[in-house]
Amino acid sequence: MNRVPTLVVFTALALAACRHENHEAEEKPKFLVTSPVRRSTELTREYVAQVRAIQHIEVRALERGYLQGIFVDEGQFVQRGQKMFQIMPLIYQAEVQKEQAELDRTEIELNNTKLLADKGVVSPNELALAKANFNRAQAQLSLATTHKGLAEIRAPFSGIMGRFQARLGSLISEGDLLTTLSDNSTMWVYFNVAEAEYLKYKSEAAPDKPTPVKLVMANGQVFDQPGEVRTIEADFNNETGTIAFRATFPNPRGLLRHGETGKIVMTVPVENALLVPQKSTFDVLDKKFVFVVDEHHVVHSRPITVVAEQPQVYLVASGLDEKDQIVLEGLRKVHDGSVIEPEFQKPGEVLANLEVPAE
């Protein structure tokens, strides 16, 4: 008569044991874990850049007058010495004729004074005065000829014409802007580098070897000519804490123009960097953390210091070493103090299987 209660008790105990086993199984879910890996790599840094022509000048009038002739067009390529503008030369031509006449007069006077001086009729001082008048007339003629030449404006170097700031027939004053001229055969690209990056660059860059860089244009395409960092400005900008670098790019097809913008891409080698997958980290306010698994399979959150970023990978300066095991996936399902069943995956396999976004 007591068999039925005894069976019930055993059944209840068996069910309780099953629930306990299931509960333990739920408390130890499996998670992929891996370790940081130390290897040499390269960092790609991007900087906002401004493109400038190697020579870019303002073409201004050197004399006053009416703009009588325009012999070029906006955007036209002009050769060095090619005539671009002509300011009305009539006044300057008249000045030249006037000074030429004065020179002729003083020359006759000088010749007559020489004849008289040879005969002892006039004193040596009078001959010297005649010579001085002749020399002064020569200087005045040279000055008038120079003024006449300044009314004709020619290209000081080969380049591309800018927009006209005056039209045919305009009254031009001395110093008025007429246009701009750009030599685009070689381009200077300026970009600003933070102080810490500058110090790192100077400590690692070869002193006599220019650093190669690339230029990403405004349309997202990489410019087809390589560039080199050859110059660093002398002073830091105290307001921004940056210093300007200048990269030089050949521009054989004239694709780049003065005033364009883009991005400089610089590749910097890093020796023995400690790498972790980005997906193994999480953020708390402005700090990054990982879940570290100890020898008892207990999870602990740990802050790390990230010094640089690559696609899908962080470079860590402190907080981890190669012996640590970190949770790779399922970070939202664990918390500080969780007990898990770790499934280790080699760091090399993890990095090889990371999906790098297409550029």
Report yes or no on 71 lying in a domain.
Answer: no
Alpha-carbon distance of 161 to 53, in angstroms, equals: 12
What is the token pair recorded at 205?
A: 């860059």
CATH number of the domain that residue 248 is part of: 2.40.30.170
CA-angle at 14, arms to 13 and 16, nearest 5°: 65
Domain boundary, last residue among 231, 250, 271:
271
Whose CA is closest to 111, among 127, 132, 124? 127
CA atoms within 13 A on the CB side of 4: 1
Tally of CB atoms within 10 A around 26? 8
**209 shares a domain with 289:** no
Domain boundary, last residue among 105, 134, 150:
150
Cβ-Cβ contacts under 8 Å for 201 (sequence gap 6 or more): 193, 211, 268
Q: Which domain holds residue 263?
A: 45-54+183-271
Write down the pLDDT at residue 223: 96
CATH number of the domain that residue 284 is part of: 2.40.420.20
Residue 290 region by backbone torsions, left for phi larger than 0, else alpha for psi between -120 and 50, else beta: beta
Write down the pLDDT at residue 309: 84
Write down the pLDDT at residue 359: 43
CA distances in angstroms from 92 to 82, 140, 146, 150, 246, listed in the order given = 21, 12, 9, 9, 44
Report yes or no on 170 lying in a domain.
Answer: no
Report yes or no on 177 lying in a domain.
Answer: no
Report yes or no on 23 lying in a domain.
Answer: no
Domain count, the chain: 3
**pTM of the predicted structure, to 2 decimals:** 0.66
**50 shares a domain with 191:** yes
Query: What pLDDT tens digit does each residue of the chain (359 aa) get?
Result: 444 454 444 454 455 455 545 544 455 688 999 999 998 888 888 999 999 999 999 999 988 888 989 999 999 999 999 999 998 866 776 777 788 888 888 888 888 888 888 877 778 888 888 889 888 988 888 887 777 767 889 999 999 999 999 999 899 888 999 999 999 999 999 999 999 888 888 877 777 788 899 999 999 999 999 999 989 999 999 889 999 999 999 999 999 999 999 999 998 778 888 999 999 999 998 899 999 999 999 999 999 999 888 888 999 999 999 999 999 988 888 889 989 999 999 988 888 888 654 44
Cβ-Cβ contacts under 8 Å for 330 (sequence gap 6 or more): 31, 32
**257 shares a domain with 200:** yes
Report yes or no on 163 lying in a domain.
Answer: no
**323 shares a domain with 287:** yes
**240 shares a domain with 96:** no
Report yes or no on 232 lying in a domain.
Answer: yes
Domain boundary, last residue among 271, 300, 331:
271
